[in-house]
Chains A and B, each alone.
Chain A
Amino acid sequence: MATATAQPAKDEALLELQRRMLRQMLLVRRFEEKAAEAYALGKIGGFCHLYIGQEAVAAGSLAVLRDDDYVICSYREHGQALVRGVPANAVMAELFGKATGCSRGKGGSMHLFDAGRRFMGGHGIVGGHIPLAAGLGFAIKYRGGDQICLCYFGEAAVNIGAFHEALNMASVWKLPIIFCCENNRYGMGTAFERVAAVTDVVEHACSYDMAAELVNGMDVMAVYGATERAAERARKTGHPTLLEVRTYRFMGHSMSDPLHGVYRTKEEVEEQKKRDPISLLVLKLKEEGALDDAALAALDAEVRAVVEAAVQFADQSPDPDLSELTSHVLVE
């Protein structure tokens, strides 16, 4: 009898988790759409790499983490920051370069930080932050904790030495890290198969005697499940895991790059959009009777309001004071 009553509760918890992740994915999607608008209006400068199409990776993986775990990312990290709980206001204000931004307007789109949430930054050199993840994992082990470090990078980073050096040390020293490779198939405008001898990123794990899993990055529950297994391995045994999460970027590499053209066709992008992770999750929840059009509309309206408020907040926030130019170069 106990099983019979426990089952619906578990199902309900699972549905609740999925609805929560749907909200996060929608928030990221609407946020990025607004960021693109603001960029076009000149409110956001420099490089701005959008996450549209990849939302299931951040939502599915970060749902597994505890507050005391570490997160570290590449420069395509708006989604991870939002899902980790960095307020949309602070993220948008950072994109706008404002004093109220999560890095006081000094980092910008590529360098979002929130040390309190153990969100240890976006980093701008491809693959350069992967050894930093190993260092965060090292610190956890040094102190004897059971936290983990979740590190995101794109498939193009796999071709750089830092990836290999970090994976080797993480495995030799048994560091509690999840190396989450978001394989969106293109490093800027170069298809991975044109520049990588081994195109299944998971296979690199063999070189470092590391557990690995190939994951459908358009299925948020698949990402969640794989991350959960990797997190358990890290917490219980200290061993790292390499996840290759196959996803797709619906936008150009950055706001200044074309969506398609010389390196991929419009048809390919349209075909991939049929696998939109948000649409897939909505469909699944509807089939399970856990979501209807009205609830979806309400959810969408709610996140749109959050994003709209974030844009207003960022717009109205002050620039950093000129004295900020020379502060934080060194700890005084």
Chain B
Amino acid sequence: MSAPAAASADPEAARGGIGKAPSDAPFIKVTSDVPFIVALSLLGGVYVFLIVAMLVADLAFTTRGNLTEALNSPEIRYSIRLSLLSCSMTTIFALWSAVPLGYLLSRFEFRGKHLIEAVVDIPIVLPPLVVGLSLLVLFQTPVGRWLNETLPGGVTYAIPSVILAQYMVATAFAVRTMRATFDQINPRQEQVALTLGCSRGQAFWRVALPESRRGLVTAATLAWARSLGEFGPILIFSGATRMKTEVLPTTVYLEMNAGNIGGAVAVSLIMIAVALAVLVLMRAYGFGVKGEPAR
């Protein structure tokens, strides 16, 4: 009998024969997955622990008196109201820019696309103070000065400057999110919509935009949260005037400068509570859609 015939007749022999060394066997000793999972948990857990530890330390540091005092302060109440208002307006403006820009960058090829992608990322890589300084310089140009003089109340060192400073940074993150969202949506659905009679605009409004709902919520959340924490550009471009351009990060800064660490920590906790409440609401609304969550 030839060797191949023998091999086909005896599968055991084909694998090396009975009695071969165990190292030649088709099975290997499987090591435990526990060390890998433990390593993942430890490395990731350090970060989670630090966040929780910070919050616990804040809570331990402040007193009920600090919180009551902060909540009863007209300046801090004003800064909470301005923070909520400016962040919400910034989020709306950011989405108005991010959705079309994200869709254009995702669905169309055109000359200068890479340049626009790089330009959109500039506010992300620039130091926040530089964004504020650049805005201040922009409003020293003839067009900027005209806007400052024409708009009621002006822009620089007024509430519009707070929104503009937040918008400049928050929109960059929203654009990135919307671009990634549209990249993940299969363009085939829009193509089918075109064959069903849609123009490109109709395919966008009726198919792509509803499909991107989850990404929209993420972009809005990111823009809102980013705006709430914005401080550097606001300090330079809007100043830190109480009852005028004071948002919650400005309050923390002013309270610390005044040596009131307890007040600063109380305001920080209020910020954390407000941010958590808004983010939870946004998430709940965004994922409570019929059918599967849109991307």
Q: Are A and B a genuine interacting pair, yes or no?
A: no
